[in-house]
């Protein structure tokens, strides 16, 4: 990474520290996990789109949200297959697949193969803190 690119990343980090609240920063930028049943969206059933809380990219639609019983917002598919990226995660003695915002690289959660069988069979287990919900009728 060049000095210039390093500066850019440092500036971006500074900006995120200012714009995000401490929990959002911890989850998005330090790969934290909110406690189950404490986030603002796990039980939300409104129609709309869930955007990346760090960069605003649309990530998940309420159309694929379902009640997984986990206490985290759960989706069986991303809004667009290119909107989220997947990375191997070997932390905490587990082998998991981390899900990140493809646009800004922020941590969102994990994807597990125990989702609804009549859909994709996938469970995108996402932190509320990583998301910014926009209601359907307020999207213009
Ligand atoms: Fe993002």
What would the 3-class secondary structure string for the chain be? Answer: CCHHHHHHHHHHHHHHHHHCCHHHHHHHHHCCCCCCCCCCCCCCCCCEEEEECCCCCEEEEHHHEECCCCCCCEECCCCCCCCEEEEEECHHHCCEEEEEECCCCCEEEEEECCCCCCCCCCEEEECHHHEEEEEHHHCC
Ligand 1 mean position, distance from CA 131 (Å) = 9
What tens digit of pLDDT does each residue of 17-49 get? 999 999 999 999 999 999 999 999 999 999 999
Q: What residues are annotated to the active site?
A: 125
For the entire predicted model, the pTM comes to 0.91
Ligand 1 mean position, distance from CA 71 (Å) = 22
What tens digit of pLDDT does each residue of 78-129 get? 999 899 999 999 999 999 999 999 999 999 999 999 999 999 999 999 999 9
């Amino acid at each position: 990474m060049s000095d210039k690119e390093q500066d850019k990343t440092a500036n971006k980090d500074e900006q995120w520290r200012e714009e995000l609240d401490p929990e959002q920063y911890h989850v998005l930028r330090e790969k934290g996990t909110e406690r189950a049943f404490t986030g603002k969206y796990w039980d939300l059933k409104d129609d709309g789109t869930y955007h990346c809380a760090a960069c605003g990219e649309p990530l998940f639609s309420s159309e694929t949200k379902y009640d997984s019983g986990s206490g985290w917002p759960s989706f069986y598919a991303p809004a667009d297959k290119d909107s989220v990226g997947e990375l191997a995660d070997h932390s905490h003695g587990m082998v998991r697949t981390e899900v990140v915002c493809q646009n800004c690289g922020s941590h969102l959660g994990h994807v597990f193969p125990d989702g609804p069988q009549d859909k994709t069979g996938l469970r995108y287990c996402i932190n509320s803190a990583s998301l910014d919900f926009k209601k359907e009728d307020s999207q213009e």
